[in-house]
Amino acid sequence: MISRRTFLRTTGLLAAGGVLAGLYIWQVEPFWLEFVRRKLPIVDLPKSLVGKTLLQISDIHVGNRFDYQFIIDSFKRVSALEPDIVVYTGDFVSWEDEQQLRQLREVMAHAVKGTLGTFAILGNHDYGHNWGEETVGDEIVGILSGADVRTLRNETVVVNGLHLTGIDDLWGTNFNPSSATSGIDPAAANLVLCHNPDVCDMDVWNGYRGWILSGHTHGGQCKPPFLPPPLLPVKNRRYTAGAFDLGDGRQLYINRALGHSQQVRFNVRPEITVFTLA
């Protein structure tokens, strides 16, 4: 039989462990930024871009769900890398009301910018309540433009020979992927930005072959060791985080997000991806 003293000591240790784990999930990991570095091989990439840095930032979720000073501080840290190209892959806000526009202006005053160009696409949260307020998306595009960030809305821009295509969000009001991909030149060096990776499973790609950079999932934010995350906002549960070979000449990379839908993370640190073009 366990003595009363042993029982109380064990209970106390378990309670203390639970408190420490809770503090870690709430106050430590959500602000423990990881720079993920990897090569990004692109067919027919111009020699002038080989070795250049392309930075992916996703899902900053500016709003009232966590202290967005973390985003500003992260921007300041990563700006020191002096990236050549910067792409933001959607979900700039966690929309409640118009105060998020003021908050986003404050954050984007410190935006990370590329020496060759800075580009963005919108995510579902950038379309306001129920992802259905087109005027919210337009306001966010205006704020990004004021920060010298060009938003790609089902269109392609050429950056020193790299054709960069942005697809608007699957759940938003301006989703038109066929229009975006129909203009892709298969003879060029191409890269596609698409917030929600579920679009990869749709018949909208017009034969595209190459890399797709996504966000949206946050890697599930909480993931038990050796097990998949229990919560993911996608139909295809395979799409968690990291690189995926789609088996038809397309490659997908899903960023784990810099911000959070809620201020909890476990085994899924916030991420900024630092790609070296190859």
Tell me the CATH number of domain 34-277, given options 1.10.4030.10, 3.60.21.10, 3.40.50.1980, 3.40.50.300.
3.60.21.10
Mean of pLDDT values over 15-42: 86
Task: Please tell me the distance from the alpha carbon of residue 193 to that of residue 88, in angstroms, as a whole number.
Answer: 9
pLDDT at 23: 87
Torsion of CA 218, 224, 230, 232, to 10 degrees: 10
pLDDT category, 39, cuts 50, 70, 90? very high
User: 3-state class of 117 per DSSP?
Assistant: strand
Which residue is listed with tokens 């009001």?
A: 173
All residues at 6 or more sequence positions from 276 whose CB lies less than 8 Å from its CB, including other chains = 37, 38, 39, 40, 51, 52, 53, 54
pLDDT category, 78, cuts 50, 70, 90? very high
Percentage of the chain surpassing pLDDT 90?
91
Mean of pLDDT values over 70-93: 98
Percentage of the chain surpassing pLDDT 70?
93
Mean of pLDDT values over 244-248: 96
pLDDT at 183: 87
Over the chain, what is the mean pLDDT?
94
pLDDT higher than 90, residue 5? no
pLDDT category, 247, cuts 50, 70, 90? very high
pLDDT higher than 60, residue 38? yes
Cα angle, residue 175 at apex, residues 171 and 180 outer, rounded to 5°? 145
Q: Kindly state the helix (H) or strand (E) to which residue 149 belongs, with its residue range.
A: none
pLDDT tens digit string along 192-233?
999 999 999 999 999 999 999 999 999 999 999 989 999 999
Mean of pLDDT values over 27-52: 97
pLDDT higher than 60, residue 7? no
